[in-house]
Amino acid sequence: MIQKHIFGSPFETEAVVKKVQKSNEAPAYGAVSLDNGFTFSYTMDEEDIVYGLGEANRGLNKRGYCYISNCTDDPNHTEDKRSLYGAHNFILISGKQTFGLFFDYPSTITFDIGYTRSNILKVCCERADLALYVIEGSSPYDIVKQFRGIIGRSYIPPKFAFGFGQSRWGYKTKEDFYRVARGYRENHIPLDMIYMDIDYMQSYKDFTVNEENFQDFGQFVQEMKDQNIRLIPIIDAGVKVEEGYQVYEEGVKNRYFCQREDGSDFVAAVWPGDTHFPDVLNTEAREWFGDQYRFLTDQGIEGFWNDMNEPAIFYSREGMEELKDILKKYAEYETEPIPVWELEGTLKKLANNPEDYRRFYHNVNGQRVRHDLVHNLFGFNMTRAAGEAFERIAPDKRFLMFSRSSYIGMHRYGGIWTGDNKSWWSHILLNLKMMPSLNMCGFLYTGADLGGFGADTTRDLLLRWLALGVFTPLMRNHTALGTREQECYQFENVEDFRSVIEARYRLVPYLYSEYMKAALENDMYMKPLAFVYPEDDFAVRVEDQMMLGNEIMIAPIYEQNAKGRYVYLPEEMLFVKFGRDGSITEEFLDKGHHYVEVALYEVPLFIRRGKCIPVVEAALSVEELCTQKPQMLGYKGAEYVLFEDDGVHKDFENKNNYRVLTKK
Ligand code: GLC
């Protein structure tokens, strides 16, 4: 059962698409105070677990810290960070009383989950204009499904998007892309996508291609496709300010950019230097911006990643002027001794400054809305612009689309990647813990930069992270400019990388099938053990193993130099390892604790008692996989219902998409 409570005059975020009856009563749980903005408080039982918040820091159980939904471009995901790129305001209290809460509020909102006082959950925001959904159900899992039911079906990518992708900030020329394609194909490591970061553009201008480096771009796209490799370009939120650049000229002429209070177009510096932000909250401007993607789809492009859409601001004109004044004081020794930390702080405040987000406006149905009041909707609507455009461009076709910034609702238009992580072992674990939380909020097509974006990776870190990436729908190796080369073929014993990535391809039919079922049934692709074994007190607290689909459990290794790991089995399971040259080892393990050995080149998984999964031969691309007669792994006599379609069109409801497979 879902109750909707309205406070003040909420902004229509369009996160919820199904009509929910409005309640005139007070929320069934906790207490709401409107004395100072909005505050919801609830006294938690000592044993309560709090799930949710999608793309957020720390654990699966969010208790014990304070999180702030305020979409932020911050490349340092250290434990103390309270805001990342997304705003996913759904939480789920599981324990003495079990219920879900969705705070549909598009600006900054704080979740103090036992941080100030260990038993108090406090959710507050500055303005009491929001919709609060209270969801009751038979279990936490049931509550998630109900919530997913009202926010609409999750985005479904094309099947090639379940292949492996290579990315790097710094590929500049055709030759760079040929080299990557060769590196993978010659080493017989499967690959379906190469991502094009900002350097493919002309001076970082959206919807342009550097003409010198990419002559006959359409032909180049086709050449790659002939090898079953798709090129996936990046699109940034800011449109470069440059006379003669058509996108800029059109946007200015039609008033499609966000404006300052005085009506002038707001200027924010990002990669291209000065840019304007398309007003994606305005229907007409959104349609216009979406239509720009045609420039690339017309040349054969079938997928994109949307970036810098918090929107990130390196600095504004206003911010720079203020900074100059402050620096002048230091330069003239007006303050002595010079407070260096303060100086450093002043410089840091230049980027993504809250002041700047109050300096520009959207035009929403003729109403001016100051950006900071709807800040968390920008990435959502930029991606929606693309998603809506794809419907116009090729209504029957699926496009690959994922975004950095997001709000619940965007999950209908695209997936997300988790932004600029680091080549740190702790970030493997963060990646794992975030996955089910994201699924709760509707984001199924997700993944992290495997190997780590910032800092130099190591061979073992990349291998272990890829072994987790085998199971994340988005499996992409991406790294920052200036870091060590991170393509799989750059390391010794390349066959180890081949084994790990081949395991992914062998599992694609199963992973895709489970993804499709999750998307079509408002279900989760990855879930906490607690959702499957709620009666098992130990399983309920496990955070470094996850259930994937309905058949398997995963337990990645996330420590350097570890030969394996401890794992808890809530029931008897078949322990499977994908090894070298297509070998598979199987061992039945009893319920309980075990230490399992896993070599760097192996991919482990656990099949639940009484279940089975299909496995196929590896191939160099998803398209080349032969799924006619899969090998079945698991328990004798078990059946598996495989979902399989062409992976290109949207014939989701066809009964012929399902096929029953039996383990003999
Ligand atoms: C941002 C993105 C990153 C990309 C870089 C350059 O930091 O998060 O993935 O490589 O910008 O475009």
Ligand 1 centroid to residue 479 C-alpha, Å? 9
Torsion of CA 563, 539, 445, 174, to 10 degrees: -10
Under DSSP, the state recorded for 501 is H
Ligand 1 centroid to residue 420 C-alpha, Å? 7
Q: What are the pLDDT digits (tens) for 98-141?
A: 999 999 999 999 999 999 999 999 999 999 999 999 999 999 99
Please report the pLDDT score of residue 334 as a whole number.
75
Q: Which segment of 185-194, 347-356, 572-581, 634-643 scores lowest on mean pLDDT?
A: 347-356
The amino acid present at 125, given as its one-letter code, is C
Ligand 1 centroid to residue 402 C-alpha, Å? 13
Q: Count Cβ atoms within 10 A of the Cβ of residue 656 and give its class: 0-12 exposed, 13-18 middle, 19 or more buried.
A: exposed
Cβ of 658 less than 6 Å from ligand 1: no
pLDDT at 312 over 80: yes
Ligand 1 centroid to residue 169 C-alpha, Å? 7
Give the span between the Cα atoms of 647 and 398, in whole angstroms: 8
**Which of 85, 166, 305, 308 to mutate for ligand 1's pocket (most ligand atoms within 8 Å of CB)?**
308
| Residue 445 CB contacts under 8 Å (≥ 6 apart), including other chains | 154, 155, 156, 157, 161, 402, 414, 415, 416, 473, 474, 515
Average pLDDT rounded to a whole number, residues 623-628: 97
Cβ of 379 less than 6 Å from ligand 1: no
Please report the pLDDT score of residue 222 as a whole number.
98
Look at residues 101, 108, 69 and name the one whose alpha carbon lies nearest to residue 85.
69
Work out the pLDDT band at 342, boundaries 50, 70, 90: confident
Q: How many residues does the chain have?
A: 664
pLDDT at 346 over 90: no
Please report the pLDDT score of residue 340 as a whole number.
80
- Going from the C-alpha of 290 to that of each of 199, 280, 283, 286, 390, the distances in angstroms are 21, 9, 10, 6, 8
pLDDT at 339 over 80: no
| Residue 646 CB contacts under 8 Å (≥ 6 apart), including other chains | 159
Cβ of 7 less than 6 Å from ligand 1: no
Give the span between the Cα atoms of 277 and 257, in whole angstroms: 5
pLDDT at 325 over 90: no
Q: What are the pLDDT digits (tens) for 505-539?
A: 999 999 999 999 999 999 999 999 999 999 999 99
Work out the pLDDT band at 326, boundaries 50, 70, 90: confident
pLDDT at 338 over 80: no
Minimum CA distance residue for ligand 1 atom 3: 420
Q: In the sheet that 99-104 helps form, which strands lie side by side, from edge to edge? A: 2-7, 130-135, 99-104, 90-94, 49-52
pLDDT at 435 over 80: yes
Give the span between the Cα atoms of 352 and 359, in whole angstroms: 12
Please report the pLDDT score of residue 329 as a whole number.
82
Cβ of 419 less than 6 Å from ligand 1: yes
Give the span between the Cα atoms of 252 and 249, in whole angstroms: 5
The DSSP string of 228-266 is: T-EEEEEEESPEE--TT-HHHHHHHHTT-B-B-TTSSBP
Q: Which atom of ligand 1 is nearest to the CA of 198?
A: 12
Tokens of 611: 């279940």
Average pLDDT, the chain: 97
Please report the pLDDT score of residue 17 as a whole number.
98
Cβ of 169 less than 6 Å from ligand 1: yes
Work out the pLDDT band at 361, boundaries 50, 70, 90: very high
Tokens 């030759």 appear where? 175
Q: What are the pLDDT digits (tens) for 163-219?
A: 999 999 999 999 999 999 999 999 999 999 999 999 999 999 999 999 999 999 999
Please report the pLDDT score of residue 513 as a whole number.
98
Q: What are the pLDDT digits (tens) for 248-307?
A: 999 999 999 999 999 999 999 999 999 999 999 999 999 999 999 999 999 999 999 999
The DSSP string of 431-446 is: HHHHHHHHHHTT--SE
Judge if the upstream peptide bond of residue 311 is cis by omega within 30 degrees of 0: yes
Please report the pLDDT score of residue 664 as a whole number.
96
Average pLDDT rounded to a whole number, residues 476-497: 98
Cβ of 198 less than 6 Å from ligand 1: yes
How many contiguous H segments (helices) and E segments (strands) does the chain have? 15, 39
Please report the pLDDT score of residue 345 as a whole number.
84
Look at residues 580, 548, 574, 544 and name the one whose alpha carbon lies nearest to residue 559.
544
Please report the pLDDT score of residue 457 as a whole number.
98
Work out the pLDDT band at 331, boundaries 50, 70, 90: confident
Cβ of 197 less than 6 Å from ligand 1: yes
pLDDT at 663 over 90: yes
Average pLDDT rounded to a whole number, residues 88-93: 98
Please report the pLDDT score of residue 609 as a whole number.
98
Work out the pLDDT band at 421, boundaries 50, 70, 90: very high
Please report the pLDDT score of residue 624 as a whole number.
98
Cβ of 235 less than 6 Å from ligand 1: no
Ligand 1 centroid to residue 48 C-alpha, Å? 38
Please report the pLDDT score of residue 337 as a whole number.
77
Cβ of 205 less than 6 Å from ligand 1: no
Q: Maximum distance among all alpha carbons in the chain? A: 83
Give the span between the Cα atoms of 15 and 13, in whole angstroms: 5
Give the span between the Cα atoms of 526 and 13, in whole angstroms: 27
